[in-house]
Structure 1
Amino acid sequence: MVNDLEGPFRKTFSPENLSAFSWDKTTSWAEDKAPLTVACLRSMFPPAKKIQKLTVNYSPGNKPRRMTEEEVKQMLDRRISLLLSVPLYTSSLRSCFLQTAFSVEMLRHRCPAKLFTLTNSLGLSQSKTSARIHVRKLAEDHERTVKQWRDEIQTTRTTQYVSEDSKKAAAYTFSWGKVRVPSVSRSESTERGYSFATWVFRFAHQARVNFRNLHGPPIKAVEVSPYSILPSKQTYESIRRRMKMLVMRIIADNLSALKGPRGRVVRHIPHKYSSLMKEQSTTVSLGAVIPNLAEESVSAAFGLKDFLPEFSGTPHHILCCGDVLGTDRNEQSNRTQNKETPNQNAELKFDGLVEAPPEFQNEHLFHEEMIKMLLSEKNENARGTLHHIVSLFHFKTFNNTAKDYFLNIWDFITFVTTAYVTLFAVTACGLDSVDQRPSDFPPQASAQMDWLSDLAHRLLDLVWMPPSQEDIIMAAAAAAAGQSDGDQRKIFPFCYCREEKPGERLVRCCSNLCPGIWFHEGCARARTLSDPDEDWFCGTDCSSDGTYVYCHCKEQRGGQMVQCGLMERCRKHEWYHRACLTAEQQISAQQTPWFCSESCSMGGCGEEDFLLNYTRAVVWEGLNHMARRDAIQEGDGDAMTDFWRTDMVLLWSRTHLQLFNSSHQMITGIEGFYPERVRQDMKWNRVLNLQGTSGGNVSLDLLTELMINEFKGGIEFGKGSFTSQQVEQSSQLAGAEAKHLDRLFFTGGNPLNLSSCLHRLTTSSSCKRTAEVSRFVEEFKKDELFSFKPGRKHPGFEKFIYPQRVRNPKKMGRSVRSLSEELDRRRDKIL
């Protein structure tokens, strides 16, 4: 074994060998080389069945349990390999892979030099000095890797128009996260007796989708149409389709009788780069620096200038994601909640770096908004409210301003949404429990999927509450009119003429995706030469898109229509295809007046069911979060961009102006303000997949946050001050190296490790508390949370109505125009 130069113990300590090391392969190698020695070692351990009876608890807060057969095998492989490594290391210091890994792990956790001396004397580790040398070599390898990427781009630039080789040059992105670190210099005036310095942990990530062959020129921001910046009807319909797929997954997973659809429901929504987004991302640490904001550019301030490609003094644009301000994100969280954050330093040029918006910060802000809107201390005992669910199902308490608990918040949102959707399915099918088979569930496989799709459609029809499209069109019209014109004349966003004509009747285009919606009757007759009193379409695009503004099917199916008795005051769709009604509805539709729903038949006087409004809001918000997370996990750049478009409206209405500005810059850039290559990078290369699995992507800023969380935890748990050398060592071991080291030394996986967090984050449509979903249904199935009962309300939400109107849409449009003009003025600093 000592003489085997290719043996696992003789491997050099490198990122590649660390990720490839396997305990069971090491044991198998040893059995091939010295079968009797390994057999003797195995005989010294108790039988596997006896070990399996031992109770273990790998993570705090979980109940002790017995070891699985796989865990017993892994433990024996680990201990046998460790026993073999000591004599091999004693025989030859070159057989030191495990000793090196162990010493680097101890250095990572800031173990004292005395412990290094002790374990080194036992043959378990190397000295502390050797560990530091290996960490330094890792850092040099990382820098060499990124500079190699840089050189590939620079050397292929001259052939980029005539050779396929230019496409092979590695594209990459940067990210960083800030940590406020106590230093060793004492100061009586600072907190805890230490002075503090803000360090930046920097990372580089190789792009999986390479757009090096794209060279389209940019355009001015004011030339980008505001109708392409703000969300359209098509945007919301795309999100609705994703939500429907999520609802189908939830119902199939939680109604135990639906075994057929469970295996056929789509688990991963495909897009044009799906295969590339399954690949494992390459991430390397570039160490930590204290940023020098006195520099002229961001790349110089954060020590990234040497890693940027240049051509004749002109930098090659690289995507970056990180806080450029001089404050840490945790310090900003309170200001974010106050709805105003300080403006970015306009004097600092990006000079080769292109700023990507903070996807996770934006996502988590909406988590907090949901909790703040729907969780009240006043309704702990109100059945079905979020506060009641937290108490009833013993969820870990969380502070709705603390990012440290975002995983608990996400688990809670996933559970609540899953439980409510399952409750709707049980209620709508008239079931007694999740184990009962629906009476109308068809036996044919194709019909089963149609049945499931129809059930999901009915839920979305009930909870669908996007912002008013008329308000969004008003904002787009105000932006298109220009700031100065918008102040001087009244803006009318509808019709071909875009002019207000008092007293003239407006007619609606019957396409569900029509961008104009309303038209003057006279203009409609003159333009289309057709009668607007019939099914009328404003143009050939709308008449041929196959959609229909009426009926819950939203399709041009033709045939006889039935009108709800409330007519234009109908709470749903007013007109319905008779063929789209259920058998029961078709019978009742023979009577006059006929009402399409309980809310129309019982709410004709205008009285609201505020409890149902609350239920709908919970499901609507939850599905929004799950659909957004699903788009991120799949790396679907088009869907992620659609969510940023819809976010613009919500960020404006909820006065989160800094993120509103960021979303405007990103979408305007994608629509033409950025060069073509940067546009595509911004759309598709803002996610990473360290697991290398389908649906395993996370956003750049979230992964950065997770990679430095362990170091932050060391500070929070009072481990004292840090020298510059210790901070640099910690940053060099952050990310992939930390993940692989924990895989080596934790039997059940480190519960605080990157891998565990990623697993929790990338299981969006499968709730981990399946038994409690069934309990939720049993608890609330008699509360009629999805039925319309006028006058009901929750304490603390007496007159709850989910806000759908856009706050001051004309002012929003003028702000969009102003931001576009500002982008044009600052183009040299942004690009």
Structure 2
Amino acid sequence: MVARILAAHMVCFAEFDDASQWKILHPYNKESSVKSEIVPFGILQFDETKTAEMIHILDNYGQYAPQDKDGKPLPFVLYCDGLSCERADGAQRARINGGDHWARLEMIEPAIQEWHRRLMFVQDTFDELFKFESHREKGTLYNIKQYFDHKGVSSNIMECFNKATELLHFATKGFTVVAAMELLGVQSVDATPDALPSTASDRRDFLMSLAADIVNMIYEKPNTMEILEDEPAQGDFQYCSCKMDIGGVMVYCSYTKCRKGQWFHIDCLGISLEDVPEGDWFCSEDCKSLKNSGKKKCKSAISDRFRDLKKEYAHRLLWRGLNDLARADAVSENDGTRMIRHWKFDLMEFYEKHHPKYFVYAHRLLTNVGGAVSERL
């Protein structure tokens, strides 16, 4: 994706500005190149907020399901938004005791449409980076919107999805080119870097290496610390690895967010009190390292004053923008493998941004793809 952008906007890489060169092939390229036939089902006058009427909707769609030789329905995917998926699940639960596969609505597998997932991703991006207070700060998304007259863009992405993504992609491509110019040490898109190789094959390798450098520069490692430090689910006895109230002497792990039990029976540990040191004691090396990393917070807070916040903002915007470009490209190419890869990546996103419904459906989709449903589906 980065190489495509540079080839389209930098003169020194213009020879590679051919979309066919960057097409990512997948097993169903041939089938995907044929335009689908759109068959309208008409408008159903039912209220999906009511379970009984949602059942009628699924029954209506279910009549189009193909059958095997025994008359059993071959399930198909019903794409919808997160709320409609939830309502479809409710309708299927209401019919769980139906007499056959059709009555149990087993011919339908609700799934969140890719567009709705992208909508969520772009909305989260704008919630974080599109602020009116930053309209005077050069290079911010709001400033770019005003300077280049991107009309109709607001913070409510549902109302302006196409215009919002146009702005995001416009800014992303600009930031990508600026990053390349900085790494190459050139001042304009027309300049030729001194390090540019003389042969076409070497220039292409040079371009790919430059693209990789840009991605590595802005790559954001998923934040797993929040999940690691989450409180464990409440139960009858939360302590020790045995989770049993067996009495006896216990020792305390000095990492206050220990997920393994906090208090431990010395019998379960196979140690005696003499083995427990004075001062801090840790049940594992993980807890010890997490405790020690916490001691550095005061120092890091002081160093925050010296952070390059504008650079961090640019990297963040570039990372989010390239991610959305990659998602849009996967959908336009009908590349299921890449779409599934994005769903895996977004599990952390849904967790961090507090989208539990999408988090659950992402798990469900990945489980289905992993073998819970037929390969055909």
* 1:661 matched residue in structure 2: 360
* 2:78 matched residue in structure 1: 320
Structure 1 residues 434, 286: CA separation in 2 closer, same or farther (over 3 Å shift)?
same
Q: Which ranges in structure 2 are unaligned for 5 or more consecutive residues?
A: 96-104, 242-257, 261-268, 270-280, 290-295, 297-301
For the residues of structure 1 that align with 2:303 and 2:210, how far apart are their CA atoms? 26
* 1:731 matched residue in structure 2: none
Once the two structures are TM-superposed, the CA of residue 491 in structure 1 deviates from its matched residue by 4.8
Once the two structures are TM-superposed, the CA of residue 484 in structure 1 deviates from its matched residue by 6.8
Structure 1 residues 288, 437: CA separation in 2 closer, same or farther (over 3 Å shift)?
same
* 1:795 matched residue in structure 2: none
Counterpart of 1:259, as a letter, is A
* 1:306 matched residue in structure 2: 63
Q: Which ranges in structure 1 are unaligned for 5 or more consecutive residues?
A: 1-245, 330-340, 493-498, 507-517, 519-568, 570-602, 679-831
* 1:388 matched residue in structure 2: 143
Cα shift readout 1:449-487 (whole Å, capped 9, x = no counterpart): 121122112211211013135667x59xx8xxx997995
Cα shift readout 1:551-581 (whole Å, capped 9, x = no counterpart): xxxxxxxxxxxxxxxxxx9xxxxxxxxxxxx
* 1:826 matched residue in structure 2: none
For the residues of structure 1 that align with 2:370 and 2:236, how far apart are their CA atoms? 24
* 2:128 matched residue in structure 1: 373
Preserved CA contact (<8 Å) 1:257 1:436: yes
Preserved CA contact (<8 Å) 1:368 1:401: yes
Preserved CA contact (<8 Å) 2:58 2:108: no
Preserved CA contact (<8 Å) 2:13 2:207: no
For the residues of structure 2 that align with 1:297 and 1:375, how far apart are their CA atoms? 37
Preserved CA contact (<8 Å) 1:296 1:348: no
Counterpart of 1:306, as a letter, is Q
1:259 corresponds to 2:17: no
After superposition, where does 1:95-244 map in structure 2 within 5 Å? none
1:291 corresponds to 2:46: yes
For the residues of structure 2 that align with 1:487 and 1:658, how far apart are their CA atoms? 27
For the residues of structure 1 that align with 2:174 and 2:36, how far apart are their CA atoms? 34
For the residues of structure 2 that align with 1:626 and 1:264, how far apart are their CA atoms? 14
For the residues of structure 1 that align with 2:236 and 2:374, how far apart are their CA atoms? 30
Q: Which has the higher contact order (CA 8 A, sep 6+)?
A: 1
Once the two structures are TM-superposed, the CA of residue 370 in structure 1 deviates from its matched residue by 0.8
Once the two structures are TM-superposed, the CA of residue 608 in structure 1 deviates from its matched residue by 1.3
Identity of aligned residues (%): 22
For the residues of structure 2 that align with 1:284 and 1:344, how far apart are their CA atoms? 25
Structure 1 residues 247, 265: CA separation in 2 closer, same or farther (over 3 Å shift)?
farther
Question: Under a length normalisation based on structure 1, what TM-score does the superposition of the two structures give?
Answer: 0.34
User: What SS does structure 2 have at the residue aligned with 1:356?
Assistant: strand
Preserved CA contact (<8 Å) 1:377 1:387: yes
Once the two structures are TM-superposed, the CA of residue 641 in structure 1 deviates from its matched residue by 0.7
After superposition, where does 1:598-613 map in structure 2 within 5 Å? 607-613=306-312
For the residues of structure 1 that align with 2:27 and 2:237, how far apart are their CA atoms? 40
Structure 1 residues 485, 666: CA separation in 2 closer, same or farther (over 3 Å shift)?
farther
Once the two structures are TM-superposed, the CA of residue 409 in structure 1 deviates from its matched residue by 0.9
* 1:431 matched residue in structure 2: 186
- Of 204, 207, 216, the residue aligned with 1:452 is 207
Larger Rg: 1
Once the two structures are TM-superposed, the CA of residue 344 in structure 1 deviates from its matched residue by 5.7
User: What SS does structure 2 have at the residue aligned with 1:624?
Assistant: helix
Once the two structures are TM-superposed, the CA of residue 415 in structure 1 deviates from its matched residue by 0.4
* 2:293 matched residue in structure 1: none
1:617 corresponds to 2:316: yes
Once the two structures are TM-superposed, the CA of residue 294 in structure 1 deviates from its matched residue by 5.7
Preserved CA contact (<8 Å) 1:298 1:353: no
- Of 166, 170, 174, the residue aligned with 1:411 is 166
Cα RMSD (Å): 3.6
Once the two structures are TM-superposed, the CA of residue 411 in structure 1 deviates from its matched residue by 0.9
For the residues of structure 2 that align with 1:265 and 1:309, how far apart are their CA atoms? 36
User: What SS does structure 2 have at the residue aligned with 1:397?
Assistant: coil
User: What SS does structure 2 have at the residue aligned with 1:257?
Assistant: helix
Structure 1 residues 362, 483: CA separation in 2 closer, same or farther (over 3 Å shift)?
farther
After superposition, where does 1:530-549 map in structure 2 within 5 Å? none
For the residues of structure 2 that align with 1:665 and 1:486, how far apart are their CA atoms? 30
- Of 338, 361, 368, the residue aligned with 1:639 is 338
Counterpart of 2:370, as a letter, is E
Structure 1 residues 399, 343: CA separation in 2 closer, same or farther (over 3 Å shift)?
farther
Counterpart of 1:320, as a letter, is L
Structure 1 residues 411, 343: CA separation in 2 closer, same or farther (over 3 Å shift)?
same
For the residues of structure 2 that align with 1:676 and 1:264, how far apart are their CA atoms? 31
User: What SS does structure 2 have at the residue aligned with 1:315?
Assistant: coil
1:355 corresponds to 2:100: no
* 2:273 matched residue in structure 1: none
For the residues of structure 1 that align with 2:344 and 2:223, how far apart are their CA atoms? 14
Preserved CA contact (<8 Å) 1:325 1:344: no
Preserved CA contact (<8 Å) 1:417 1:622: yes
Structure 1 residues 283, 309: CA separation in 2 closer, same or farther (over 3 Å shift)?
same
Structure 1 residues 446, 471: CA separation in 2 closer, same or farther (over 3 Å shift)?
farther
* 1:421 matched residue in structure 2: 176
Once the two structures are TM-superposed, the CA of residue 401 in structure 1 deviates from its matched residue by 2.0
For the residues of structure 2 that align with 1:505 and 1:663, how far apart are their CA atoms? 32
Preserved CA contact (<8 Å) 2:4 2:19: no
Preserved CA contact (<8 Å) 2:141 2:168: no
1:248 corresponds to 2:6: no
For the residues of structure 1 that align with 2:237 and 2:32, how far apart are their CA atoms? 44
Preserved CA contact (<8 Å) 1:463 1:616: yes
* 1:345 matched residue in structure 2: 90
Preserved CA contact (<8 Å) 1:375 1:385: yes
Structure 1 residues 402, 455: CA separation in 2 closer, same or farther (over 3 Å shift)?
closer
Preserved CA contact (<8 Å) 1:252 1:258: yes
Once the two structures are TM-superposed, the CA of residue 257 in structure 1 deviates from its matched residue by 2.7
- Of 414, 436, 441, the residue aligned with 2:196 is 441
Preserved CA contact (<8 Å) 2:7 2:17: yes
